[in-house]
Amino acid sequence: MKLFITGVFLSFIFAHPEDSSSHELLHIAVIGFIVLGFMYGLTTWLSGYIMGSVGEKLNVRLRMDVYKNLMKQDVSYYEDTNHSIGKLTARLATDSTNVQAAVDQRLADILNGVTSVFIGLGVGIYFGYQVALLCSLVSIPFIVAQHLLLKSVKKRTSAETHLENRISKITSESISKVKTIQKYTRAKVSAGIIFNMLKEKPKIDNFSEGGLKPDIKGNLELKEVDFSYPNGMHTLTLNKISMKANFGQTVAIVGASGCGKSTIIQLIERFYDVLGGKLLIDGQDIRQINIQHLRSSMALVGQEPTLFNLSIRENISYGLENISLEKIKAAAKLANKLVQEALDKLKDGRMCLVVAHRLSTIQNADLIYILENGKVVEVGNHQQLLERKGLYYRLVESQSIN
């Protein structure tokens, strides 16, 4: 259409060759036409280059996004027949290219330019050979530009083909080895966790060879001891606890559940270290004593029995048939007597610390500490505490002990 309009304009000029103004207008038109030709070629090349770059970047981005998403899928995703390696590779290779083709209009621009040349020549010949000759001369720079553009396109296409082959190969290998990749990924995470665990140092080294190894007699003292468990949200389980238990004494600790009785035992065994105050064994800070030597100097009789999920009667008679209730009661009393006698023998020549729920078992203790909410609220022997009629007295009353 541009060439047609130009041809009409030139025909008018050549129809009036004697008119000087027509010659001047012709000169201007020729120069303007040449300039327009160069501008058209330049803009065509720039548009092709820009659109090609945009299309390629879009293609790469689409492939990378799809590839990343494929790497996130679980194993079952690849067991679907619609997600075979061949199909997924083909999608990456072709579908993204199809999108690129919609953006990259270089071929359309080239065809448009070539078509314009031939149409312009045809129109020029129709109206006059002079116009056709002029169009041919002006088209030479455009043809050269198109040739250079085609060479550039060919080179870029070759590079794209090579890159596509590499992408297809890498993608195929990644998808076919996805189980291996996932295993290595899990192994990497697990290895990191394991190595972090190996780096962790215990706050209390149970196998340490360091520390003092004195001849432990059994004098125990807690001085203003504070303690809270690591997961206790900074709530003090023991708050300024002070107590003594000397060699040869039987000392009892009494209180409701959660008052800190078992915590004191765990501190003495050094399962934990105190947060404040001091815990002394024979006047020596417990943290300075070799931990294995410390624990070998004490014995712990647990308060939690191992029972089947049955009644007490069934636990005692377990494995026996046709046992009367009288025999079961007799066995229970005998067992209680034997255990108590064994404990009494163990007390001789030792400091004995008793955590009691049944107050009848500690009436003969040399000293009884009453705990409430992590604090010592009463201290004394059985008779002294009864006379004060405090918390211990109420506990004794609740258990109907004379």
pLDDT digits (tens, 9 = 90+) for 240-290: 999 999 999 999 999 988 899 999 999 999 999 999 999 999 999 999 999
Backbone angles phi, psi at 387, to 5 degrees: -65, -25
Percentage of the chain exceeding pLDDT 70:
68
Which two structure tokens, joined as six digits, stand for 40?
């058209």
Element (H, E) at 348: none
Who has greater pLDDT, 57 or 377?
A: 377
pLDDT above 80 (res 117):
no
The model's confidence at residue 65, banded by pLDDT at 50, 70 and 90, is confident
Q: Give pLDDT tens digits for 140-164.
A: 777 777 677 767 766 776 676 667 6
| Domain boundaries, given as residue ranges, for the chain | 2-186, 220-398
The confidence band for 123, taking pLDDT boundaries of 50, 70 and 90, is low
**Average pLDDT of the chain to the nearest whole number:** 79
**Domain 220-398 CATH superfamily:** P-loop containing nucleotide triphosphate hydrolases (3.40.50.300)
Backbone dihedral region for residue 361 (phi beyond 0: left; psi -120 to 50: alpha; all else: beta): alpha
Q: Which residues contact 295 (CB under 8 A, 6 or more apart)?
A: 269, 270
**Other Cβ atoms within 10 Å of 45 Cβ, number:** 18
Q: Which long-range contacts (CB under 8 A, 24 or more apart) does 233-240 make?
A: 236/374, 237/263, 237/374, 238/263, 238/264, 238/267, 238/374, 239/373, 239/374, 239/375, 240/277, 240/375
Res 1: pLDDT: 46
Confidence of residue 77 (pLDDT cuts 50, 70, 90): low
C-alpha separations of 392 from 201, 237, 362, 386 in Å: 43, 20, 12, 7
| % of the chain surpassing 90 pLDDT | 32
What gap in Å lies between CA 274 and CA 143, rounded to an integer? 92
Model pTM greater than 0.85?
Answer: no
Residue 98: what pLDDT?
Answer: 63
Contact partners, residue 371, CB within 8 Å, separation at least 6: 241, 253, 254, 255, 259, 260, 261, 377
Decide which of 27 and 259 is more confident: 259
**From CA 179, how far away is CA 193, in angstroms rounded?**
21
How many degrees, rounded to 5, is the angle at CA 274 between CA 271 and CA 276? 175
